[in-house]
Amino acid sequence: MMNAAILGCGTIGSGVYEVIERNQKEIREACGQEIRVKRILDLRQFPGQPFEKLVTPDIKDIVEDPEIDIVVETMGGTKPAYEFVKSCLLAGKHVTTSNKALVAAHGTDLLETAREMHRNFFFEASVGGGIPLIRTLYTGYAGQEIEEITGILNGTTNYILTKMSREGSEFADVLKEAQQLGYAERNPEADVEGYDTCRKIAILASLVTDREIDYQKIHTEGITKIEPVDFRYAESLHASIRLVGSMVRARDGISLLVAPELIPEESPLCGVSDVFNGVLIRGNTLGVTMLYGAGAGKLPTASAVVADIIEIAKHREENVPFGWHEGALSPMPLEKRKGRFFVRVSGSGRESEGMASAALGGAKILHLDGEKEFGLLTGEMTEEAYAEAAARVPGIVKMIRAAV
Ligand code: HSE
């Protein structure tokens, strides 16, 4: 038998307790032993809950308990999660976390500590919720050179964008509704500004490059400026708009970007709707695959944590080769990234369309009924060339990158 402790009894932490209780038989069969939750760290009390007696407000009750083998961190944030996780690893415990902020900020250090201690630091649940994305990358796609990862990695923003696209509603209205339904946090900044996706793509890129990637160096744009009219243009291009985190291995380095993009209707990513996540992975001999599923939510995310617990139970006394090593890798400067750009330009008439088209090397001009503006889709160019050309075009009201 192995004893686990859960740090933080919020949505995910209580979900982990529930999955361990509910799936005891399956877990025992998978790892050959019983997993029991011995302690739960939380400052709150939970009268009437089945785990009421396990709750402690003191981390020492976990760090100093030699019977606790596995620690599940589901507190979120980095303070005090980092300090707690580090102490647990140094005390010889294995750790699994669902906390992408912790992994993105301190992953290198915590992976190294786990290696030194012959323990494991796993974080399957930190990216893609219930989708076995991280395990697929380090086991299923071991031996691949991963050339590209393009992912819809945030359920909240995907819900908002798909709803805006279907109903023609404004961002602020859909956000409010998502908050009422509990899909969006009361403070939605991390999701809608793209910070959550940024941390997730940084973790995936670190895994496949074996190098630490500083998420703060990834150019990140959110979805707060997306308007209903943008979806009408997208529709005229047989596309939709999604918030995408991408990593592409280019000749000059690793290109990383988080931004809303026009995605063609025929792309499987365009079929990823509502709170779901979907990730396209291209390997040099694998070709393209896509993983799809519940990227957030209590029980899907808790199920990923439990998969880590089972992996830990199978490797009780050894460190499984996993994660990345030290040696920071800076993303390629954004200016060098190549792509197509969709722009909206105010005004109309042959002269301004001609000017914009000439400056941007416009491949396609688009008109929508009733709008005093026009759209333009460029050919492939670098971000630097786009920025230089766009500076010469008066009246650009919006630019959205286009994977069409
Ligand atoms: N806020 C995140 C999302 C939770 O909406 O996807 C899962 O990481």
Residue 252: its pLDDT value, please? Answer: 85
Q: Is the CB of 296 under 6 A from ligand 1?
A: yes
In the chain, the amino acid numbered 159 is Y
Distance of alpha carbon 105 from alpha carbon 83, whole angstroms: 12
Rounded CA-CA distance 75/130 in Å is: 18
Q: Give alpha helix (H) positions in 72-217.
A: 81-90, 100-116, 133-135, 155-167, 171-180, 189-192, 195-209
Pick from 76, 129, 80, 130: nearest CA to 104? 76
Output the pLDDT for position 326: 78
Torsion angle of the four alpha carbons 360, 363, 368, 374, in this order, in degrees rounded to the nearest 10: 20
Q: Which CATH architecture has domain 334-402?
A: 2-Layer Sandwich (3.30)
What are the extents of the domains in the chain? 2-129+298-324, 134-294, 334-402
Residues 217/262, Cβ–Cβ less than 8 Å: no
Cis peptide before 80 (omega within 30 of 0): yes
Query: What ranges make up the beta strands (E) of 217-286?
Result: 219-220, 239-250, 253-264, 276-283
Chain position carrying tokens 């902020």? 101
Residue 127 alpha carbon, nearest atom of ligand 1: 8
Contact 62, 5 (CB under 8 A): yes
User: Looking at ligand 1, which residue's alpha carbon is closest to its atom 7?
Assistant: 296
Distance between alpha carbon 96 and the CA centroid of its chain, in Å? 17
Q: How far apart are CA 87 and CA 106, in angstroms?
A: 13
DSSP string, 331-396: PPPGGG-EEEEEEEEES-SHHHHHHHHHHHTEEEEE--TT-SEEEEEE-SEEHHHHHHHHTTSTTE
Ligand 1 contacts CB of residue 196 (under 6 A): yes
CB distance 154 to ligand 1 below 6 Å: yes
Angstrom distance (rounded) from CA 132 to CA 267 = 21
Does CATH place domain 2-129+298-324 in 3.40.50.720? yes
Q: 280: which strand partners?
A: 150, 290
CA distances to 293, 326, 364 from 340, rounded to whole Å, are 28, 34, 11
The CATH H-level superfamily of 134-294 is: Dihydrodipicolinate Reductase; domain 2 (3.30.360.10)
* Atom of ligand 1 lying closest to residue 100 CA: 8
Cβ–Cβ under 8 Å, residues 117 and 209: no
- Tell me if 158 CB under 6 Å of ligand 1: no
**Angstrom distance (rounded) from CA 25 to CA 95:** 22
The encoded tokens of residue 110 equal 């915590």
* 90 CA distance to ligand 1 middle (Å): 29
The CB density around residue 158, as the number of other CB atoms within 10 Å, is 26
Give DSSP secondary structure letters for 78-89.
STTHHHHHHHHH
Q: Can 336 be counted among the known catalytic residues?
A: no
111, 207 contact by CB (below 8 A):
no
> Which residues are 276's β-sheet partners?
294
Query: Measured between alpha carbons, how far is 196 from 385 in angstroms, rounded to an integer?
Result: 29
Pairing between strand 338-346 and 2-7?
A: unpaired
CA of 154 to the centre of ligand 1 (A): 5
Q: Which of 93, 100, 200, 217 is catalytic?
A: 200
CA–CA distances in Å: residue 41 to residues 82, 86, 198, 207, 310: 15, 15, 29, 30, 21
Which residue stretches of the chain have pLDDT < 50? Answer: none
Task: Give the whole-angstrom CA distance, residue 310 versus residue 328.
Answer: 31
> Whole-angstrom Cα distance, residue 39 to residue 381?
56
Cα gap 244→6, rounded to integer Å? 32
